[in-house]
A and B are shown apart, each in its own frame.
Chain A
Amino acid sequence: MISRRDFLRQASIAIAAARALPPLLTWAADNSSVQMPGEEGMIVRSARFFDLETPSEFLTSWITSVPHFFVRNHMHEPSTLDADTWRLTISGEVEKPLTLTLADLARLEKHAVTNTLECAGNGRAFQQPHVPGVQWQKGAVGNARFSGPRLRDLLQRAGVKPTGKQVMFHGLDEVPGKVPPFIRSIPVEKAIDGDTLIATHMNDAPLSKHHGFPARSLVPGWVGAASCKWLSEIKVLDKEFDGNFMKPGYRFPNQPGKPGEPVNPDDMHVITALNVKSVIATPADGSTVKSRSIHLQGVAWAGEADIARVEVSADAGATWKPAQLGREQSRYAWRLWTYAWKAPKAGDYTFMARATDNQGRTQPETAVWNPSGYLYNAIDQVKLHVQA
């Protein structure tokens, strides 16, 4: 039995010992890696707050494994999360406010949605002029099977009053300093869609801490910010939630402006559904291919719409040929695609991929610039050197 005094003394020795050691367990000497068991290979955009990007070479499977699924946190993750004491409240413009346990959620009918979740800021690093924020490149996106009760079933139990127009989500992430809490709201129409979930599972396992254990909202087809992690409070409001992460945060210009120029938040609207977009997963940009047989792989998604086609250009956009779409498909889920091409000779080639959806939207050559770099969806490209 260790006394409290012994524990504190040993803890201080241990902390001193830990501080004295070279940081072998954290950063490698050349700063190329940081120890994060279970997240091997992920790009560490930030360790505190925790923001991990999926390297493009991992974007080659229809379902993204949880360890390879990007993580976007605005705040500190909750320091304590206890499944037994966790509660979800539903209040506001409802007839009967509710407090639910995890066991209560488990008793409700479960529904599964395979959804491509993409951070609104994915691709921000490619915006010119540069914009502030996590400098995501291609991989703040993943596709997973989320399951849990429908939000609609919870709202029906609480009874939304006619005055209820928006549904607000608030999680347990811990806010540093005077940072506004991460609270957002979605229109009641999307909240009662049969595919909008209070997800408790991801790829058929309970949510991991990084992905919102024990429950998160899952708003399919919409930017990741709509899907609030560590959910603890749902509130039905008579209007859009008025807070930093609704305005000026997560808004997009009504009209494209001049790149680099400030945009008045009143001339912007809240971002909802994702754009049409595709990325080339492999080969990596700048790599050398030792065969003239080139095999491109990638993914394409379109939020609430379906991918109609993906085209690839092997000549920097002069001519386009259709890529082969993968068999696996589900509403809100991305499509895998492949493209095989024989290079006529050794040399340097620029490959481009562009997706078109069933609403007729095609990826643009240049994405609409906006002050936070949201919804970047310009045609992706990789330059390859063919050696053989």
Chain B
Amino acid sequence: MFKRKAFNTTRLALTLLCSAPLLWAQSPDLPPGPAQAKVRTACLECHDASIIVQQRLGKPAWTKEVDKMIKWGALVDAADRDSFIDYLSANFPPDKTPAAMPRAGSAKKH
């Protein structure tokens, strides 16, 4: 009985591992900073961090993006809006080299 349950649990774990890699793939995490936790909660609800970390934008463009996302349902307290914009503008500015994006399926570097 125990073995059967253990087997089922293992099988279920494997199933979840196999079926949920996309949910797991949280991509490169967001960099440390005062707004990191709140940005993570508000933004990664709908999409992963990679779409954020690949951007290279100035403050006006980040302002536009944050306001668009709030309009589209991102839960950001009005008091936090400016800190979101500051955090994103400071970490992903136009003059920073974008991080290389990962390849699918193989640990081999291309």
B13 pairs with A17, CB closer than 8 A: yes
Chain A residues near B79 (CB, 8 Å)? none
Say how far B89's CB is from chain A's closest CB, in angstroms.
Answer: 12
Contact status B56-A130, CB under 8 Å: yes
Which positions 12-40 of chain A face chain B at CB distance < 8 Å?
13-15, 17-18, 21, 23, 25-28, 30-40
Is A10's beta carbon under 8 Å from chain B? yes
CA distance A21 to B14 in the complex (A): 12
Asked whether any CB of chain B lies closer than 8 Å to the CB of A206, the reply is no
Contact B55 A32 (CB under 8 A): no
> In the complex, what distance in Å separates the CA atom of A36 from the CA atom of B106?
8
B17 interface hit (Cβ, 8 Å): yes
* Interface flag for A339 (CB, 8 Å): no
* B61 is an interface residue with CB less than 8 A from chain A: yes
Task: Indicate if A81 sits at the interface (CB-CB under 8 A).
Answer: no
| A35→B21 contact, CB < 8 A | yes
Tell me which of A2, A13, A33, A125 contacts B104 (CB under 8 A). Answer: A33
- Given A26-B24, A177-B46, A177-B74, is A13 in contact with B9 using a C-beta cutoff of 8 Å? yes
Q: CB of A179 within 8 A of chain B?
A: yes
Bound: A180/B71 CA distance, A: 10
Q: Which of A41-49, A188-196, A360-368 contacts B (4 or more CB under 8 A)?
A: A41-49
Closest chain A CB from B30 CB (angstroms): 13
Instruction: Name B13-31 residues within 8 Å CB distance of A.
Output: 13, 15-17, 20-25, 27-28
A-B contact count (CB 8 A): 161
Residues from chain B with a CB closer than 8 A to the CB of A129 are 58, 94
Given contacts A18-B17, A46-B48, A178-B71, contact A33 B103 (CB under 8 A): yes
Report if A344 contacts B (CB, 8 A): no
**List of 8 A-B pairs having minimum Cβ-Cβ separation, nearest first:** A177-B73, A40-B105, A47-B25, A178-B73, A36-B104, A14-B13, A176-B46, A14-B12
Name 12 extra pairs, CB < 8 A, besides A30-B109, A44-B101: A10-B12, A14-B16, A31-B102, A33-B104, A36-B105, A45-B51, A46-B48, A48-B23, A49-B51, A131-B61, A177-B74, A178-B71
Instruction: Please list the residues of chain A having a beta carbon within 8 angstroms of any beta carbon in chain B.
Output: 2, 6, 10-11, 13-15, 17-18, 21, 23, 25-28, 30-53, 55, 125, 129-132, 134-135, 176-180
Residues of B within 8 A of A (CB): 5, 8-10, 12-13, 15-17, 20-25, 27-28, 45-48, 50-51, 54-58, 61, 64-65, 71-74, 94, 98-110
A–B Cβ pairs within 8 angstroms, 10 of them: A30-B109, A32-B100, A37-B105, A41-B104, A41-B110, A46-B27, A46-B50, A46-B51, A47-B50, A49-B47
